[in-house]
Amino acid sequence: MSKLTIYRKVSFRKVVKYSLFILACLILISSCKIGKKYARPELDLPERLEEMSIDSLTIDDMSWWELYTDTVLQRLIKEALENNKDVLIASARLKQYMAAKRIASADLFPHIGADFHSEKEMENFGGDSEEIAPESSIGASLTWELDLWGNIRWGREAAIANYLATKEGQRALQISIVAEVADVYYTLIAQYKELDIIEQTITARKEGVRLADLRFYGGLTSETSLQQAEVELAKTNTLKPALERKIRLSQNKLALLLGTYKSDESGKGSFDEQAIPEFLPAGLPAELLERRPDIREAEQKLIAANAAVGVATTDRFPSLSLTTKFGRENDDLDELFKSPYWFVAGDVIAPIFQAGKLKARQKEAEALLEQEVYAYQRSVLKAFQEANAAIVTFRKAREVYQAQVKLEAASRKYQKLAELQYLNGVINYLDLLDAQRSLLDAEIQLNNAKRDELLSMVYLYKALGGGWAN
């Protein structure tokens, strides 16, 4: 370690001139930046996503409120984005990294300060010559650590990347919140619809018990048919409490998303009010890298790790700090402004022997960079897998729904025919029960298929990176 101090009794004008000259030279020197510039890793992207319509438009062109047209759902999403506690935490974290970015940027510039000092000191050497020594001073100082090798600039780049990663993380969270609210809302609609189906079935089962009772006491059927009707009614009644429990749990989940203790009674709408587009414009694979905030977050973390390597590398080089101070100083306060002083100092600090600590830190930073490279590549792979899976699910969910529509229609027709035949004595009660069970299953499966079709739209929109930009 060496220390250079410059102190000369020359005019203040010459000091300023020399200082400006040295400053200009050092600014030119500080343009050097040692370290490897960030470059995006090779990803070997596929030529296209899973088979799907590719349009000049992309998911970015569709706002979430254009996809989710239900006004109740829109209200819930807005409320969640404003009050969800995870969203609020992410907003506060973003403020933290914004301040950290500002701190790192401030280190690039000189720091200017001012001070005023006044004291009185009693001196009594030998015990018999007491003397009061006053002293006052006022001055200004300028300190500046010159970024000769890019150490501070690498730190600033890391701080900016961490800030942007946090910002992308916030956007990814917003996408998740939008998708989760839509998920719970559609699930609630399906659960309320299923509850309605079960209540209607219970009413039909009660009517079946009444008819079986009349036919039994009229001598038209055996007691077995009556007991079968009562068993079927009891079985159907057991479905209602379990479903009501599911509804309550879904309401609690929605309340948590909305950041409130009160369970929202929303979800009693109809599937008929929900619009499902024929397709969602997926765009090209490379566009997915720019749309999905989780991928962009992972890349910013990679950039920060690369900058951390630059910091660790330049920590092994000497640092140079300049200090300039000028002001007034005198034993007599009245004469303070008649007594100027100044000094210019330079400190060169160079690491010589630290038992390999700085080199080890550089190796540590390089190992962390390698991890972030793999983490980024994993994020890209995961995103493409999610997008391809969501595209397939979206397409197949529609096919399943269309098949369930046909099945429900056929089951309803079969049930009506079985009722007519049973009342005319053509078939026995077991055949009627079989038709009724088939219709109940078909109605519930159709309801679930519609729910799954809507949820597949939600998951695809999320997988393609839609839901935050607007």
Q: What is the CATH number of the domain that holds 447?
A: 1.20.1600.10
Does the pLDDT at position 10 exceed 50?
A: no
180 is a domain residue: yes
Q: Is the pLDDT of residue 24 over 60?
A: no
pTM of the model: 0.81
Residue 19 within any structural domain of the chain: no
Amino acid 59: pLDDT: 65
pLDDT of residue 266: 67
Average pLDDT over residues 136-160: 85
**Domain annotation covers residue 360:** yes
18, part of any domain: no
User: Over the stretch 228-244, which tens digit does the pLDDT of each residue have?
Assistant: 888 889 999 999 999 99
Is residue 17 in a domain? no
Who wins on pLDDT, 195 or 327?
195
Name which of 108, 179, 144 is nearest 390 in CA terms.
179
Please answer whether residues 18 and 357 qualify as being in contact, where contact means their C-beta atoms are separated by less than 8 angstroms: no
Q: What mean pLDDT do residues 375-404 have?
A: 91
- Number of structural domains, the chain? 1
The mean pLDDT of 404-431, rounded to a whole number, is: 90
Cβ neighbours of residue 34 closer than 8 Å, sequence gap 6 or more = 149, 150, 310, 313, 314, 317
Helix axes of 151-217 and 429-463: crossing angle, nearest 10 degrees: 170
pLDDT, mean over the chain: 83
Please check whether residue 458 lies inside any domain of the structure.
yes
The residue ranking higher by pLDDT, 204 or 222, is 204
The Cα 144–Cα 5 span in angstroms is 15
Structural domain of 172:
32-106+147-316+351-463
Buried b (16+ CB within 10 A) or exposed e, 53-67: eeeeebbbebebeeb
Do the domain assignments include residue 372? yes
**Where residue 380 falls among pLDDT bands split at 50, 70, 90?**
very high
Tell me the pLDDT tens digit for each residue of 61-91: 678 888 898 999 999 999 999 999 988 998 8
What pLDDT, on the 0 to 100 scale, is given for residue 3? 39
Task: Indicate whether 346 belongs to any domain.
Answer: no
Instruction: Identify the band that residue 332 occupies on the pLDDT scale cut at 50, 70 and 90.
Output: low
Percent of the chain scoring above 90 in pLDDT: 37
Per the model's pLDDT, the better-predicted residue between 292 and 425 turns out to be 292
Q: How many other CB atoms are found less than 10 A from the CB of residue 215?
A: 19
